[in-house]
Each structure stands twice: as C-alpha cells, then as structure tokens.
Amino acid sequence: MSHWLITGAAGFIGANFVRLAAGGAGARLVVLDALTYAGNLENISDLIGDGKVDFHRGDICDEKFVTDLFARYRFDRVVHFAAESHVDRSILGAGPFIRTNIHGTAVLLDAARASWKARTGNHLFLHVSTDEVFGSLQPDEAPFTEDSPYRPNSPYSASKAAADHLVRAWHHTHGLPTIISNCSNNYGPWQFPEKLIPLMILNAFDGRELPVYGDGRQVRDWLHVEDHCRALLAMLEGGRAGRTYVVGGACERANIDIVQRIAVEVDALLGRPAGASAKLLRHVADRPGHDRRYAMNAAVLQAELGWRPRHDLESALPAVVRWYRENREWADRIRSGAYLDYYEKQYGARA
C-alpha cells in the first residue's frame, strides 16, 4: 500500500487536504505536525479517531524525528504544507519563518533523498508554496505564470521563495522527484482566524471592528481551499517531476469589497438590518511593504491535468460564513486559547 507523509496537516489547508485524500486516495495517510499556535488537532480529530490517518507530533526541523519517520513508513509521497504562514507575524519576527520554512524544508528534502535513493518506486515530493514568491503585480500586468521571476517582498514570501529554490535544487542536483505548487489566497473551513476572511466573519458576528489595512484596494486572487486541494491531488496523480504548477481562482477581488460582502452575508444570516455590520469597518494603518496585487494564470494546470475550480467566491461565501457560525465553539476555543490544551487532553503530557 502507498504511504503518504503529509506535513502541517493540523493547519488550515493540510486539514482540508487530508479530509479530501482520506475519502479516496487509497493511500495510508501519515500526518506530521508540530502543533504550533496555527496547528489545531481538532481540525482532524475525527479522522485520527476513525483510524483514517496516523498522527505524529513533531518538528520538521528535527532531523532524527523526520528520519525515523521515513524509516518506519517508507513513504512514496510527501505533501509538504508545514510552514509559518502569516505575513503579519513574519514582519514582527522572521526567525520562525527562516527556521521552519527554509531549514525544515531542507531536512525533509534530505530525508526523502536518503530514503528514496535505493528504491525505484513512484516517489514524489510535492511542495506547497504560494503566489507571494512572485511579488506584487501592477494593475495592468498579466497574472503570474510558471515562468514569472521570483521577487518576494515580505519575510514570509522570501522564506517560501528560499524553500522553493531548495526544492528546485534538490531536483536538479540530486534527481529528487519534486513538484512545486504556487497557489493564491485560499478561503474555506478551518482557517485560523488571523487571516482576512475568518477574522472579518468572526469580528462581524461579535460586533467588533473590521480592520482594513490602508485603503483596502489591495487585490488578492481567491480560491476555495477544496479546489486547491483537488489541484494538489491532480498533481500527485498526473503531475510531472521537476515541474512547477501555478494555481489560482481567476477571482481577483479588492480587500474592501470582500469585507463589505462579508458584512452583507453576516447581516443576512443574523437577521440584522441591512448595513449594520458594514458600520464596523475601519481603515487602519497599512501592513509595511504590503503587496498591492496578486493574480494567477492556471492555464498550464488546466491544460495538462484537466483541473478546474468548482467553487466561485460569490456562491461559496454564504456557505463559508454559515460554517463559521455553525462551528462557533471551534472558533471560540481558538480565540480563548483553549484549543492549545487539546493535544494534552487527548494524549497526556506534551511529546
């Protein structure tokens, strides 16, 4: 049986990915997560309980832990999500980003290389990266493609760019079968509420301010997380080693428009008078070095692997807002910090 290692699967996209893969990939899913502040084992606790995934708490920078895991399971696929992922935090301090995103990726690449040297299986190392490595687009520029030059602007995107370069180098120098996926902004269930969409939804529910950075005219290309995960599964199935694939929703929206739309959805869901939540909107100081626009052209992925997004933001957003309402206790446990005790309650002392 095929064994897949999925790093960072207690986070937002990793959790959505294991849910999708557990439903049909036909592989044994082994999940590794350090459970940093962004890792929440509740996101996948039902899958662990049902025996659909094996969970191991550990750090991708820990060479012995990673090597032992490779020896134990003999993975043929690695899907690498684990990262420090929040741009604002990378501005406050880059250390954890450099450690996890760069060094941690190198540790995984070396473990895969050592483990796969002697075998001729159907191996693949899928590195999950971001559109932010390409920098910021002017309003009239064409969306990014696989050939766009690297121009990262934030400590986060610089650390992801460095990781992409390591993946490329391990393929070129050592022949490691790798794919790099560069995806745009995701939205959907289980997203940590420091990111724009869940933060605005939860603040609007509570009648708290909706803080929009600067003029709010910054543009992001939004993709439902399930569509991102389906793109990754398509790469695992039919992608070619050594390739990069660009993934995006062809759904460019200004932040201010997203926030206003969320306010309308929250009013409708909670039965508030029209315009009530929009009054919570506040323009606050801009993010330093804030990228103005991202957009992706996923034509290669569409042509080679037949991938198409199934969700569009306009019709998906009401369901996402409802999800955060129906999972209010999940969000409350994050906001109160109670989620940090979940692992100890389930498994006893910290590993």
Catalytic residue set: 131-132, 156
Nearer to ligand NAD, 38 or 262 (CB): 38
Give CA–CA dist 116/190, Å, rounded: 33
Sequence-distant (6+) residues with CB within 8 A of 329 are none
User: CB under 6 A: which stretch of 28-36, 44-52, 251-259, 340-348 binds ligand NAD?
Assistant: 28-36
By CB under 6 A, is residue 36 in contact with ligand NAD? yes
Stretch that binds ligand NAD, among 10-18, 48-56, 108-116, 324-332 (CB under 6 A): 10-18
CB atoms under 10 Å from CB of 164, counted, come to 23
CA–CA distances in Å: residue 213 to residues 216, 255, 259, 302: 6, 9, 11, 33
Return the number of other C-beta atoms located less than 10 Å from residue 99's C-beta: 15
Q: Does 213 bind ligand DAU (CB under 6 A)?
A: yes
The span of 4-12, 113-121, 170-178, 207-215 binding ligand NAD (CB under 6 A) equals: 4-12
- CB-CB contact of 255 with 214 (8 Å): no
Binding-site partner at residue 294 among ligand NAD, ligand DAU, none, CB < 5 to 8 Å by type: ligand DAU
Among 222, 294, 330, 339, binds ligand DAU (CB under 6 A): 294
Binding residues for ligand NAD restricted to 114-133, rule: CB under 6 A:
128, 130
Binding window for ligand DAU (CB under 6 A); candidates: 20-28, 71-79, 85-93, 316-324: 85-93
**Residue 196 contact partner, candidates ligand NAD, ligand DAU, none, CB within 5 to 8 A by sort of partner:** ligand DAU
Nearer to ligand NAD by Cβ, of 76 and 164: the residue is: 164
Cβ closest to ligand DAU, residue 116 vs residue 195: 195
Residues within the interface to ligand NAD (CB under 6 A): 7-8, 10-14, 33-36, 38-39, 59-61, 81-85, 100, 104, 128, 130, 160, 183, 185-186, 192
Residues within the interface to ligand DAU (CB under 6 A): 85-87, 130-132, 184-185, 195-196, 199, 211-213, 218, 220, 255, 287, 294
